[in-house]
Structure 1
């Protein structure tokens, strides 16, 4: 069987679409490193096995002798420090560095906004189906603390410095890309185009208690974005037209249950998220509720905001 070791951005793309809690199993890369020299048959196998991967493929070589001039492929020599770490089996015959190492490797070739978003995805509870882009539920592949430890232990990786700049803005537990984007818009600092609000907790469980739970017909509620100390919840609603009476009744019962527990619930729709002007209004309302005034102390904030929104895949 052809063998191949993935590097950085290609490994991250595999992890981004992994519907299970990869890595599947530790694989000692130093057992037979010579077998992982990239050759044309192994790359054809990769393209066949994972046809949705972006080109060029980025692969690991463990020595200068393993470098190849192959079409649509970039070879990256890894340090001895990285070569001694476990690589993980992501498909038959294909291994990849840990999510933490792959993230550090890719950081040298990403914008700050992309680094933060990709870090949130690794620490999140969703993956993207590579054939349909539907969301798949999974356990997080890593944590912020594990990424931080990897950056401290692998300073020889080129993207380490960029990763350290991105780590303070990562948030764990996102359940969808839009939740992650909304949290970043609200919490990134002004100089990066965000509103600079305190970071929320994502998918935070709230015990509704016995009485409130009877109203909502459940014992707990999972808040999309939550600031527990301020008893404030933001719920992202991708469907702004809820006309069914049963859905309206459910929303009303949920709000009553949360109000009974002292929480204020604010809903943000897809249309609001897609409008910079509407998000300005949402951010100001949240700032008042958090008693955390927004102060734009950077020049040309609208331009920075537009750049951030573009990087996050939103209309300017």
Structure 2
């Protein structure tokens, strides 16, 4: 028995994974004899309860569509490392291959959001505080680009290439990805076209700033080094205690003590196009740039971007998400 996850099912697996085990790589041979059966699908549901039906699976040749599945056929000669073993008998398309597969079925905004999540430093985990665990990024823009160059014949590569330059890396939550999309995407994609920032950029503070913050390093959510500008996302889910609020306040004071301008964005602001327009103007002013001339497509694409939002809940089984011990924890 063998099943191979593709597309949104592979994405849900990776976004809930805490690491990527290089020792569990597989090649195109994993596609042999991977025909879904009721027994194998039941096993999949038990081993990976975060996945929702229908399961998106890859098969080597055409078979009649099965219940509970969305099948895709492929005879492409995948290189080593294109698949990873998730559980015994269960494989998932690599983060890079998953990104390409998504290019065939999702919108540009979704592809940027999902690709950025694969390059993020968070894992969706209903049992973790705030609904998010910490991890190292599973992929980077560089590894994505290398895969695209090596697999130019795959369907979905063209869409993936268009989205690749706009992927955010090392973000710590879905709202942080959305924040970068609003500020950084070009106007024809509904963003304000501002200079790219660094997510969770590690700074070594001065002695004075260390004394204020009581920590050895400062890590702004978004940072423009050349302009000494930081943007902090003030997430409701992460600020439930006075201790956390105090920690964040001292972080801002420490950054300002080192001559760094700090802009704070709340969840309410992020949800408001009008409020984010004001934030974009402030960031542009601090960076010494003018907001780019808006493309005639901007209003419609901006609305599309907000309709998409930042929630990733649609990727996961509702029962699995409901296991959260912290109501409303996963940022949405």
Fold match (TM-score > 0.5): yes
Measured at CA, do residues 84 and 124 of structure 1 come closer, stay the same or move farther in structure 2, by a change above 3 Å? Answer: closer
Change (3 A) 1:299 1:79: same
1:153-181, CA deviations, whole angstroms, 9 ceiling, x for partnerless residues? 11221110000000010121000011111
Tell me the equivalent position of 1:44.
42
The residue aligned with 1:296 is 293
Q: From the CA coordinates, give the structure whose radius of gyration is larger.
A: 1
Q: 1:198 and 1:118 mapped to 2: Cα distance?
A: 21
Higher mean C-alpha displacement, 118-127 vs 67-76: 67-76
Aligned to 1:117: 113
Aligned-residue CA RMSD (Å): 2.6
8 Å CA contact 2:4, 2:30 repeated in 1: no
| Cα pair 1:38 1:68 within 8 Å, conserved | no
Q: Which moved more, 1:127-136 or 1:231-240?
A: 127-136
Q: Distance in 1 between matches of 2:248 and 2:14?
A: 35
Change (3 A) 1:178 1:33: closer
Q: Would the aligned equivalents of 1:52 and 1:130 in 2 still touch at CA under 8 Å?
A: no
Q: Which has the higher contact order (CA 8 A, sep 6+)?
A: 2
Quick check: 1:5 aligned with 2:10? no
8 A Cα contact 2:26 2:85, kept in partner: no
Does residue 1:155 correspond to 2:152, yes or no?
yes
**Unaligned 5+ runs, structure 2:** 312-332
Q: Is the 8 A contact 1:119 1:170 kept in 2?
A: yes
Instruction: Render the CA deviation track for 1:2-35: whole Å, top value 9, x for unaligned.
Output: 32112222111111111x2124632434557543
**Would the aligned equivalents of 1:79 and 1:156 in 2 still touch at CA under 8 Å?**
no
Shift of 1:79: 3.2
Structure 2 vs 1, CA of residues 274 and 80 (structure 1 numbering), >3 Å: closer, same or farther? closer
What TM-score do the two structures reach when normalised by structure 1? 0.89
Q: Say which is worse superposed, 268-277 or 235-244, in terms of deviation.
A: 235-244
* Paired residues of 2:2 and 2:33 also in contact (CA < 8 A): yes
Looking at structure 2, the residues matched to 245 and 40 of structure 1 have their Cα atoms a distance apart, in angstroms, of 51
Mark the CA change 1:32 to 1:218 in structure 2 (over 3 Å): closer, same or farther.
closer
Q: How many residues align?
A: 310
